[in-house]
Amino acid sequence: MLDIIILLSVIVFLALLYLVEKYKFDKKEKDLLNRLMAKNLGEYVSATNSIEKKIKPITLSDLMEKQQDKDILPVD
């Protein structure tokens, strides 16, 4: 029984390791393809800066400040 538990834990660990490496590889590949498709460095930098400015993480304080959203209730 202990052998099965150890084997399953190794399989789960390897699966998690694979998923993390795949995520890192996909992120790097996307960045490299974006660099190849840009005409020059200035175009690439301006495009990445505009994307970063558009995507703003929402925090709990942002949600609390919004009064027009009646659907969102604070959780203690």
3-state secondary structure string across the chain = CHHHHHHHHHHHHHHHHHHHHHHHHHHHHHHHHHHHHCCCHHHHHHHHHHHHHHCCCCCHHHHHHCCCCCCCCCCC
Assess contact for 59 and 65: CB atoms under 8 A: no
pLDDT score recorded for residue 64: 67
Say how far apart CA 59 and CA 6 lie, in whole Å: 40
pLDDT score recorded for residue 29: 93
pLDDT score recorded for residue 71: 62
Between residues 51 and 19, which one has the greater pLDDT? Answer: 19
pLDDT score recorded for residue 38: 80
Write out pLDDT tens, residues 24-74. 999 999 888 888 888 787 877 777 777 666 666 667 676 666 655 566 666
